[in-house]
């Protein structure tokens, strides 16, 4: 963590959904890491709220038992958990009823952050009740903030309605809309790579860049998430949030300062510049797919439609590829290709920037259009790093060229492997830094850009194209790029570079 390590001010974190999966798998490991790193001190408290029967001890037992995946080594975990656990409490109650808020009022004082780790349908109601019970009232000595997980809305209209409902009761400065991709170190590095390097930012425009590809390929299949996933699909689950955050980092203009609002202004502006397609254009620029039975990393995966809690005739997509345009001077004419899918051949989240070919070259046997273009790959996960494809002279008497990759792997230089990604987001929530959180206008701009695809796929009778589990996705996604004479950057398993 690159922050100057100064403990956050004394805070109580109230977690709605105390016994839930998110709390156990991600929030608690992050809070333990924060305790270990001194990002929170002995004046930090956790109060879980939930419907499950139990008391303080029951919650401590449930949370202490977590699988430390993404967390630190067992010994250190034990030590930090031993220090934190007596400051973890539980309030049992139904958060759709007023009673629990009255009790909450008598249990918290001073700085309080409320974390909504609950299904999205409760977000509006919880915020209303917190505000109606006076729990969101701040003063000069105490902040009151709300952290809201995704999904923030399920389309443009519902996202707008949720923003309006929340902002009728609390101010934007109190709302921290979480996108966990922004907690990833390498996502934050995109801004540094661009704005701390003259040689990158100077060529970061339509004069030099041919196209941008943003990929989030996953090997996991829908597994036990059928109920949520079948009502959601790959587009809603990944694009207006995670992939658009990456797009905003790549495409935003340099902010005038590194203040949260200056950065959020630029991200908001560029997301509003993503072209909103007509239905006919959406049809030409979007591909959806669903996986059939196959093998992923040596394991048999059943077809999506044979998964638990998925309708056998489901038309929900597990893969999506889009060609988007960003209508600004900087990006005029540069396609942004986005793709994401489940049950694919390997896990690979990356941004591939392909530069234009050199205009002229007289190397024997390598006319300009035969030289491979320069390419910058920002590898988000796994195997975090940056790599740049350039052409060099092949050793020997002949003047011949050879493509090579300049490769930087984070793991070779730094230790970034032991955090969950939530540490920096929760720390920022406590210190009041909204840089890595989504503002209402940016959320709505993201939904506006994907709405034509949602409408199209809800209204037409076609079904998603099939792709085999363990493959690179449907062939129509290849055709989307082939139409522009481009091709997808090949997905590479961790540690292996594709030539």
Known binding-site positions for substrate = 180, 184, 218, 237, 342
Distance of closest approach, residue 367 Cβ to ligand BG6, in angstroms: 41
Contact string 144-163 vs ligand BG6 (x = CB under 6 A): ------x-------------
Kindly provide the b/e burial profile for residues 87-112, where b requires at least 16 CB atoms within 10 angstroms of the residue's own CB. bbbbbbbebeeeebbeebeeebeebb
**Rounded CA gap, 304 and 294, in Å?**
10
Contact string 271-310 vs ligand BG6 (x = CB under 6 A): ----------------------------------------
- Residues contacting residue 441 through CB under 8 Å, at least 6 positions apart: 268, 272
Q: Is position 211 annotated as part of the catalytic site?
A: no
Question: How far out from the chain centre does Cα 471 lie?
Answer: 23
Distance of closest approach, residue 319 Cβ to ligand BG6, in angstroms: 12
Choice among 133, 141, 154, 242 that is catalytic: 242
Query: Which of 120/167 has CB closer to ligand BG6?
Result: 120
Of the candidate residues 115, 130, 187, 218, the single one contacting ligand BG6 (CB under 6 A): 218
Query: Which of 349/424 has CB closer to ligand BG6?
Result: 349
Query: Which of 215/354 has CB closer to ligand BG6?
Result: 215
Distance of closest approach, residue 412 Cβ to ligand BG6, in angstroms: 22
Number of residues that bind ligand BG6 (CB under 6 A): 5
Question: How far out from the chain centre does Cα 389 lie?
Answer: 26
Query: Which of 220/308 has CB closer to ligand BG6?
Result: 220
**Rounded CA gap, 401 and 499, in Å?**
15
Query: Which of 92/349 has CB closer to ligand BG6?
Result: 349
**Rounded CA gap, 37 and 49, in Å?**
26
Distance of closest approach, residue 242 Cβ to ligand BG6, in angstroms: 6
Q: What residue is closest to ligand BG6 based on CB?
A: 237
**Rounded CA gap, 167 and 129, in Å?**
13
Distance of closest approach, residue 218 Cβ to ligand BG6, in angstroms: 5
Query: Which of 316/349 has CB closer to ligand BG6?
Result: 349
Distance of closest approach, residue 150 Cβ to ligand BG6, in angstroms: 6
Contact string 224-253 vs ligand BG6 (x = CB under 6 A): -------------x----------------
Check binding of 383 to ligand BG6 (CB under 6 A): no
Contacts 24+ apart (CB under 8 A), 193-199: 193/378, 193/386, 194/250, 194/254, 195/254
Query: Which of 24/150 has CB closer to ligand BG6?
Result: 150
Distance of closest approach, residue 237 Cβ to ligand BG6, in angstroms: 5
Distance of closest approach, residue 179 Cβ to ligand BG6, in angstroms: 8
List binding-site positions: 94-95, 150, 180, 184, 218, 237, 342
Query: Which of 15/187 has CB closer to ligand BG6?
Result: 187
Query: Between residue 332 and residue 371, which ones bind ligand BG6 under the rule CB under 6 A?
Result: 349
List binding-site positions for NADP(+): 94-95, 150
Residues that bind ligand BG6 (CB under 6 A): 150, 218, 220, 237, 349
The residues annotated as belonging to the active site are: 242
């Amino acid at each position: 963590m690159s922050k100057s390590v100064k403990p956050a001010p004394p805070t109580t974190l109230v977690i709605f959904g105390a016994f839930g999966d998110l709390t156990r798998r991600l929030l608690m490991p992050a809070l333990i890491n924060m305790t270990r790193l001194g990002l929170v001190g002995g004046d930090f408290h956790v109060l879980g709220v939930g419907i499950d029967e139990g008391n303080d001890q029951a919650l401590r037992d449930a949370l202490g038992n977590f699988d430390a995946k993404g967390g630190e080594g067992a010994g250190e975990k034990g030590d930090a958990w031993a220090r934190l656990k007596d400051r973890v409490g539980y309030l049992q109650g139904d958060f759709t009823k007023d009673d629990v808020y009255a009790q909450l009022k008598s249990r918290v004082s001073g700085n309080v952050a409320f974390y909504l780790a609950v299904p999205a349908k409760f977000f509006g109601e919880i915020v209303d009740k917190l505000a109606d019970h006076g729990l969101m009232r701040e003063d000069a000595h105490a902040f009151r903030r709300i952290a809201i997980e995704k999904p923030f809305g399920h389309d443009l209209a519902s996202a707008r309605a949720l923003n309006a409902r929340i902002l009728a009761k609390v101010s934007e400065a109190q709302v921290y809309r979480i996108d966990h991709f922004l907690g990833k170190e390498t996502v934050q590095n995109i801004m540094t790579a661009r704005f701390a390097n003259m040689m990158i930012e100077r060529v970061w425009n339509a004069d030099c860049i041919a196209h941008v590809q943003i990929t989030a390929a996953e090997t996991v299949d829908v597994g036990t998430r059928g109920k949520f996933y079948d009502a959601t699909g790959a587009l809603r689950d990944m694009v207006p949030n995670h992939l658009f955050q990456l797009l905003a980092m790549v495409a935003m203009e340099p902010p005038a300062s590194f203040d949260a609002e200056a950065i959020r202004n630029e991200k908001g502006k560029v997301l509003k510049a993503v072209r909103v397609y007509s239905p006919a254009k959406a049809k030409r620029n979007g591909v959806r797919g669903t996986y059939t039975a196959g093998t992923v990393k040596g394991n048999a995966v059943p077809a999506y439609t044979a998964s638990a809690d998925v309708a056998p005739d489901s038309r929900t997509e597990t893969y999506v590829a889009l060609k988007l345009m960003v209508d600004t001077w900087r990006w005029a004419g540069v396609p942004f290709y986005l793709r994401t899918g489940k049950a694919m051949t390997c896990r690979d989240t990356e941004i591939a920037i392909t530069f234009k070919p050199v205009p002229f070259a007289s190397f024997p046997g390598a006319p300009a259009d035969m030289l491979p273009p320069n390419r910058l790959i920002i590898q988000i996960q796994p195997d975090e790093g940056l790599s740049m494809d350039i052409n060099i002279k092949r050793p020997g008497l002949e003047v011949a060229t050879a493509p090579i990759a300049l490769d930087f792997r984070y793991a070779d230089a730094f230790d970034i492997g032991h955090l969950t990604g939530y540490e920096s987001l929760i720390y920022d929530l406590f210190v009041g830094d909204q840089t890595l959180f989504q503002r209402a206008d940016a959320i709505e701009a993201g939904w506006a850009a994907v709405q034509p695809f949602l409408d199209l796929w809800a209204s037409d009778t076609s079904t998603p194209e099939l792709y085999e589990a363990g493959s690179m996705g449907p062939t129509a996604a290849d055709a989307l790029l082939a139409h522009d004479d481009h091709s997808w950057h090949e997905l590479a398993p961790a540690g292996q570079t594709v030539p």
